[in-house]
Amino acid sequence: MKKGSKKLNKAWLHDHLTDPYVKLAQKEGYRARAAYKLKEIDETLHLIKPGQLVVDLGATPGAWSQYLWRKFAPKEAGAGGAAVGALNGTIIALDILDFEPIEGVTFLQGDFREESVLHQLEEVVAGRPVDVVVSDMAPNLSGIDSADAARVEHLIELAIEFAQNHLKPDGALVAKVFHGSSYNSVVKAFKAAFEVVKPIKPKASRDRSSETFLVGLGLKNRG
């Protein structure tokens, strides 16, 4: 087992160091290659526009918030932080893990599955209609398919419920999902909530990864 683990770690490290998106992220100042997943989804569907209110769920380490920041930043701004109030848009980020601050991004630390944290997020949103919810959330996987499927499904249900309660009628939800026993149930839940549902597997998402992204456009019924 130990030899196998070492081989896997070595293979992962080799793939990581030679990954073009890792190199691009380092060059362009993104905290993670995941930025290019959201970038491709956005460039395909034109979801993110200046002036919007966007909620970033599962935000750590912050690459998606960085991408959003760059979409909202003044053209003359650099790739780093911005003066408070300089952004043409609002970004609210949430994660259970620590988050290195991005100036102009409001961060809440907590577990999205907990009522108190959800209430805190709703207080920060303060009744403003949300344009886009992006979710790169993933549960800690146990390797037991039935348990993992239930965890994935629960997170997606919470994200959909939040979107139904807070999105503009023509808003969008982007959520990471996984191909597996929960996938069809998750797609069904998206189709029940949104007028249009698009699955997208960005080029930056590794081929061997079971992750894909579902984009829900236009709410069918408000929560």
**DSSP string spanning the chain?**
-HHHHHHHHHHHHHHHHH-HHHHHHHHHT-SSTTHHHHHHHHHHH----TT-EEEEES-TT-HHHHHHHHHHS-TT--SS---TT-SSSEEEEEESS-----TTEEEEES-TTSHHHHHHHHHHHTTPPEEEEEE---PPP-S-HHHHHHHHHHHHHHHHHHHHHHEEEEEEEEEEEESSTTHHHHHHHHHHHEEEEEEE--TTS-TT--EEEEEEEEESS--
β partners of residue 174: 134, 215
Q: Tell me which residue of 136, 53, 144 sits closest to 94, measured CA to CA.
A: 136
Angle at which helices 145-166 and 183-193 cross, to 10°: 10
71 carries an active-site annotation:
no
Of 10, 176, 188, 191, which residue is the catalytic one?
176
Whether 159 contacts 175, CB under 8 Å: yes
Residues marked as catalytic: 176
